[in-house]
Homo-oligomer: A and B are copies of this chain.
Amino acid sequence: MQNIDVFVREVGLRDGLQIHPTFMPTERKLEWIRQEAAAGVAEIEVTSYVPRTLIPQFADAEEVTVKALQVPGLTVAALIPNLRGAERGIELGVHKLNFVMSVSRTHNLKNVRREREESLADFKRIVALARSQPAESRPVIVGGLATALGCSYEGRVPVDDVVKYAVALAEAGADEIVVPDTVGYADPNQVRQVFKAVLAAVGNLPVAAHFHDTRGLGLANVSAALDCGVRSFDASLAGIGGCPFAPGATGNIVMDDLCFMLDSMGLRTGVDLEKLLAVRQIVSETLPDIPMQGALARAGLPRNYRSAAQRQADSERQLVAQ
């Protein structure tokens, strides 16, 4: 088992595909999952347990989950909007359930059609359900705070509200908190402000970041979150995502570029960059119309690039030799 300094989690199969109009065949999704896991990405959000009729892209949620669970060493996560989703996930034996509610009241009403307090009450039932499972099949429960860094309906979201719901999720029994910039509004100063406040409020609970790269600030925001001590980041391969009906929209931060930045900074992710870049082909072959981003893919790795792990090994050898 190699050492990991920063955890990267693939969300492209969920966040990236969810509004893509073309169904990605189940076998291709699984190939993506298997190859990206083989490249060293140890956690993948493979699907979303929403009603089939709502998002046809996730009609194969059961099959994808069951087969992803067969990939050795992979943490299989899935999004859930409510208790029904949690029940489906627990029945399948998924490792991690990513519950999402919005800090913005308007967004919560539009996205999951209920008040934030109802979402919180549902979250408590989800935690209770998880805790009623035998230890070996109990999933990790993540509390997600959509629109924490801005809302397309309400604009700026008060930091106090983010902290309030982060604490509420923590007190309700979340094993982890994820703070998403749902629409891609954040800037590095705001990231520092929000993450510092959330980290201070939730004590020792792990806090992950989920950024979108709408206006190019995604990696700068990662760097700001790293400064605050965040060590888990969501991203999607090739940055896929965004709305096919809004040509300018982009998806999550680009997994490949994220891993390259972290590795350049000397932070080990466990990911083999060349193998990761090779996974892009599965997506481009299967969904030729999906927009793919990525500066590393465009420029290639620097000549004779040595990874953070290799550089660390080099300097350890030097120390021994001295």
Contact = CB atoms under 8 A, between A and B. Distances in A.
Interface in A186-222: 187-190, 213-217, 219-220, 222
Given A155-B304, A187-B264, A265-B188, A299 B222 contact: no
B216 A300 contact: no
A15 interface: no
A216 B223 CA distance: 13
Contacts of A226: 188
A295 interface: yes
A302 B294 CA distance: 22
A218 to B, nearest CB: 9
Contacts of A155: 304
Interface stretch (A34-42, A161-169, A247-255): A247-255
A214 to B, nearest CB: 5
Contact of A216 (B185, B215, B295, B303): B295
A216 B296 contact: yes
Contacts of A222: 220
Number of copies: 2
B302 A189 contact: no
Nearest to A155: B304
Nearest to A247: B298
Interface string A221-251: 0111011000000000000000000001110
Contacts of A261: 187-188, 215-217, 220
A266 interface: yes
B300 A248 contact: yes
B215 A296 contact: yes
A220 B264 CA distance: 12
Interface in A133-169: 152, 155
A250 B299 contact: yes
A217 B219 contact: yes
Given A223-B188, A261-B220, A248 B215 contact: no
A123 interface: no
A45 interface: no
A215 B299 contact: yes
B296 A260 contact: no
Interface string A288-318: 0000001110111011100000000000000
A8 to B, nearest CB: 15
Given A155-B304, A187-B264, A299 B257 contact: no
B265 A215 contact: no
A187 B265 contact: yes
Q: Which 8 A-B pairs have the closest CB atoms?
A: A216-B295, A187-B264, A216-B257, A248-B299, A220-B223, A189-B265, A219-B220, A220-B220
Interface of A: 152, 155, 184-185, 187-190, 213-217, 219-220, 222-224, 226-227, 248-250, 254, 257, 260-261, 264-266, 294-296, 298-300, 302-304
9 contacts: A188-B261, A190-B264, A213-B295, A215-B296, A216-B296, A217-B257, A248-B298, A248-B300, A250-B299
